Amino acid sequence: MAHTKRNIGEETPVIRQLDESAVNRIAAGEVVERPASAIKELVENALDAGARRVDIVYADGGKTLIRVTDDGCGIAEDQLALALARHATSKIDGSDLLNIHSFGFRGEALPSLGAVGRLTITSRARGSGHAAMIAVEGGRMGPVKPAALGHGTVVELRDLFHATPARLKFLRSDRAEAQAINDVVKRLAMAEPTVAFTLTDASSGGGRVVFRADATGGDLFDAMHARLRQVLGAEFAENAMPIDAERDGMSLTGYAALPTYSRGAAVAQFLFVNGRPVRDKLLIGALRGAYADFLSRDRHPAAALFLECAPDRVDVNVHPAKAEVRFREPGIARGLIVSAIRHALAEAGHRASSTIAGATLGAFRPEPVGDARVYQMDRPSSSGLRGGWQAESTGFAETGAVFGRVEPETTPPPPDAPLGAARAQLHENYIVAQTADGMVIVDQHAAHERLVYERLKRQMAEHGVRSQALLIPEIVELSAGDAELVLTAADDLTRLGLVIEPFGGSAICVRETPAILGVINAAGMISDIVDELADLGQSQSVAERIEAILSRIACHGSIRSGRRMSADEMNALLREMEATPHSGQCNHGRPTYVELKLGDIERLFGRT
């Protein structure tokens, strides 16, 4: 097999200046990865121009047509040609590359698109009496011509990559490219709730609107919540907690979903820095860490979070597509996300996802057979409901041999008790409670497991983590960089019961380990800590292992399935759930109770 040398040949090479067309095609390879990348750049230009409405049209997954129309400030006729020159931009003056307040700033998008496709720009500057257009194909620019346009700018890109046909072979199917376009537009729409967006698929001569988001009004959170409902759906909006926090000049707003509204993959995580959609591993790691105590490793949280800080505290010029950022103080950004979400989870108390009730009703709903019989029955009055507490409780108790063990209640639950009063225990595992407007079914083991776990965590926070000294300290050899990295976290590790110190050269000495972990592989733990510090800037490895042990203790120390409970015990469990944060889900993110409203139950029985 012949071997091709990848280095320069033996003869002295000749340095050549590449022509402008080749330079633009090379730049396009970084900036314009696929049709979705082109749309991202064009929509960001529209937003930078102050557009209040952006209409996007594409055909064949964006391969044959991309058109972005906006009502922004427009481009003056005498600047159209300059807009297609490389590194020509109105966003910055070049004096400070860290003080960036716009989406775009490099001046690469338009010339790159013109180098690999057939690009036409039609624009009418605000206050101008007429519009003008310019076309560029494969890097060859035409003259500026008069055009007809009311206001704003229309950028049309046809036959993407026709000048570099090899790139077309690396594109995916039209359906996959269209999905990528949809995802990009939705992310941008989430960042700009006061701007209207329309996305239209014009394939096969049609004009099907695939996404529409009207401009929202109200204050920040009202507008944001309404836009997230438009983009992510009503279920997310109903099961999300508002986030509003500030630390050391950084602010975090947005919405994070309850743990019981989790996903099997990280497809519902949307992160923004100064309004810019990013996929940054530091922020993703912080989001994962915030939910680490509430979700199992195979479940992923859903969230839309907007981090704002001074432009000079974050570098957005570290990725060709500006999809990643670098923080000057990464620890502050990460800590803000973790603390804000955990505070919101604590305020949510025992709340669980509303979608659980819908799934429960779906499981109860019988298969239709013929025409459903309709019963015309009036809903009983509030006084009738209150009067029926004693009778219902007694009736349950009389049939306890069939349905479960129940002890009758002599008084109704307090009106402010969200989980109501216990009425039955089914199969020695499920508590049935009656609320003022429905019923609650509680998994006694899962609920008590969470309560015990929270109690253990409070005790650990109050008294600290006990450590045990190793009879023979363990010496761990690391590279010089890794040793320095892990020693910077020594104080944090000491608070968790892991005591380390330098041991000469690049070795470290492990003198004490958390007692609750028992016998551990110290070298393996140090290796995991180093990996986390290198990847995220902060390690949760020791804390997560301790919490896993506490969770296991809570599981073994909680009320077991199959144990019969008295009415007093069941009601005591309900009251403690109401008073304990995070009691709506067990230690693995599963719900601890299901709530069904009376109206939903009546519909199951045709009581309409």
Picking from 420, 407, 353, 346, the residue whose alpha carbon sits closest to that of residue 573 is: 420
Cβ proximity of 104 and 41 under 8 Å: yes
DSSP annotation string for 455-491? HHHHHHHHH---EEEEEEEEEEE--HHHHHHHHTTHH
- Which is more confidently placed, 101 or 271? 271
**The predicted structure's pLDDT at residue 457:** 80
Strands 269-273 and 303-308: parallel
Q: Are strands 208-213 and 507-514 parallel, antiparallel or unpaired?
A: unpaired
Q: Which of 28-32, 118-122, 409-413, 478-482 has the lowest mean pLDDT?
A: 409-413
pLDDT in tens, 534-569: 766 666 666 766 776 667 667 766 777 778 888 888
Residue 21 has pLDDT above 90, yes or no: no
Give 573-597 pLDDT, tens digit per residue.
999 998 888 888 887 778 888 888 8
pTM for the complete prediction? 0.69
pLDDT for the residue 193: 94
* 104-133 mean pLDDT: 83
Most confident of 349-353, 498-502, 562-566: 498-502
At which residue do the structure tokens 């620019």 appear?
Answer: 141
The ranges assigned to domains in the chain are 20-213, 220-348, 380-608
Given a contact cutoff of 8 angstroms between Cβ atoms, the answer to whether 224 and 208 are in contact is no
Q: Is the pLDDT of residue 93 over 80?
A: no
* Second CATH level (architecture) for the domain 380-608: 2-Layer Sandwich (3.30)
Residue with more model confidence, 176 or 90:
176
Of the candidate ranges 145-159, 203-217, 273-287, 388-402, the one whose mean pLDDT is the lowest: 388-402
Contact by Cβ (8 Å): 230, 280: no
CA distance 318 to 407: 66
Task: Find out if CATH 3.30.230.10 is the number for domain 220-348.
Answer: yes
pLDDT over 50 at 183, yes or no: yes
Across 120-134, 312-326, 423-437, 561-575, least confident range? 312-326
Residue range 407-452, pLDDT digits in tens:
444 455 566 688 889 999 998 899 999 888 888 999 998 888 888 8
* Sign, Cα dihedral of 163, 169, 175, 178: negative
Identify which has the larger pLDDT, 122 or 330.
122
Is beta strand 314-315 parallel, antiparallel or unpaired with respect to 326-327? antiparallel
Q: At which residue do the structure tokens 């500006």 appear? A: 322
In whole angstroms, what separates CA 211 from the centre of its chain? Answer: 20
CB burial string 154-165: b at 16+ within 10 A, e below: bbbbbbbbbbbe
What is the tens place of the pLDDT at every residue in 229-246? 999 998 899 889 999 999
The tally of CA atoms less than 13 A away on the side-chain side of residue 197 is: 28
**Number of neighbouring beta carbons within 10 Å of residue 107:** 20
Q: How high is the mean pLDDT of the chain?
A: 80
More confident position, 414 or 101: 414
The 10s digit of each residue's pLDDT in 3-20 is 555 555 567 777 777 666
Q: Domain 20-213: which CATH class?
A: alpha beta
Q: Which amino acid is at 404?
A: G
Per-residue confidence (pLDDT) for residue 436, from 0 to 100 = 86
Among residues 570, 604, 559, the alpha carbon closest in space to that of 423 is found at: 570
Q: Average pLDDT in the 69-92 region?
A: 80
For 125-159, strand residue ranges (E) read 131-137, 140-141, 145-147, 152-158
Distance between CA 474 and CA 469 in Å, rounded? 11
